[in-house]
Amino acid sequence: MRRPRLVATDLDGTLLRSDGSVSPHTAAVLRGVLDRGVEIAFVTARPWRWMTDLWAYVGSRGLAVVSNGALLLDVATGEHLEVHGIDPAPGLALTDAIRSRVPGCHFAVETLAGIALDPDYSEPGHAPPGSPRGDLATVWTEPALKLLVRHPTLDPVLFRAGVVAAVGSRATATWTVDGLMEISAVGVTKGAALARLCELRGVEPRDVLAFGDMPNDLPMLTWAGTSYAVANAHPSVLETADHVAPANDDDGVASVLAEVFGL
């Protein structure tokens, strides 16, 4: 395998253990990769507000793609390299289309300022106290890095199909867990964001090693020169990736990196 210049990895279900932690072994391997002058990019659906405790693992050379590609970050400086959001007016028209196609949906928006929720949206344990809640036309006041859509009762497969049909080509719809759809601006994917990040760094696709586990990782995995699905990945990811690594709870990413970099 060609020695990578940049490692791009998803977090939940991929680098992180199922309890959301980073194992001591994985932490040590990440340090070893960074010590060899290789950049590590966290490429995640998580909003930036969920990332604070993870920045230490990529140190002063860290990069990040968060909110499924809507925000590119330089971890060392905190600089927002690029931001791609959905403005409120077209976003509200999009929610109307989704409600029409899939009645009973609830919505929230992730922005640089945090999360704002409609009155019925359930965000279990993740909305900070005091987060704005109300009619979206009132609380959606700045571009949304992600529009979040939930349905309390609908079958997840029917829910996904209905939302994707309603969104059409007006935005990018994806998912990581059943019962939640995540909608980004047109053209925003993990793959497009990683490509842009590498362009800014002068890194070619062939010099990128990427890891993922869910369908929202597919654009990243197909763009990168070498791709791995962890063993616990969604079937579509296992079919698409070049290779399969051990599962996230077995330090799969670290196992591959240790072999590639001789750690």
Assign domain 88-184 to a CATH class.
Answer: alpha beta
CB atoms within 10 A of CB 231: 15
Q: Does domain 6-83+188-261 fall into CATH 3.40.50.1000?
A: yes
Query: How far from the centroid of its chain's Cα atoms is residue 79's Cα?
Result: 18
pLDDT computed for residue 1 by the predictor:
67
Angle, in degrees to the nearest 10, between helices 88-101 and 156-167: 130
Query: How far from the centroid of its chain's Cα atoms is residue 235's Cα?
Result: 18
Buried/exposed 180-215: b ≥16 CB within 10 Å, e otherwise: bbbbbbeebbbbbbbbbbbeeeebebebbbbbbbbb
pLDDT tens for residues 131-188? 889 999 999 999 999 999 999 889 999 999 999 999 999 999 988 888 889 999 999 9
CB atoms within 10 A of CB 216: 26
Question: Does residue 133 contact residue 117 with C-beta atoms inside 8 Å?
Answer: yes
Q: What is the pTM of this model?
A: 0.86
Query: Domain ranges in the chain?
Result: 6-83+188-261, 88-184
pLDDT computed for residue 164 by the predictor:
93
Instruction: Give 60's contacts (C-beta < 8 A, 6+ positions apart).
Output: 75, 76
Of 4, 3, 48, 32, nearest in space to 198 by CA: 4
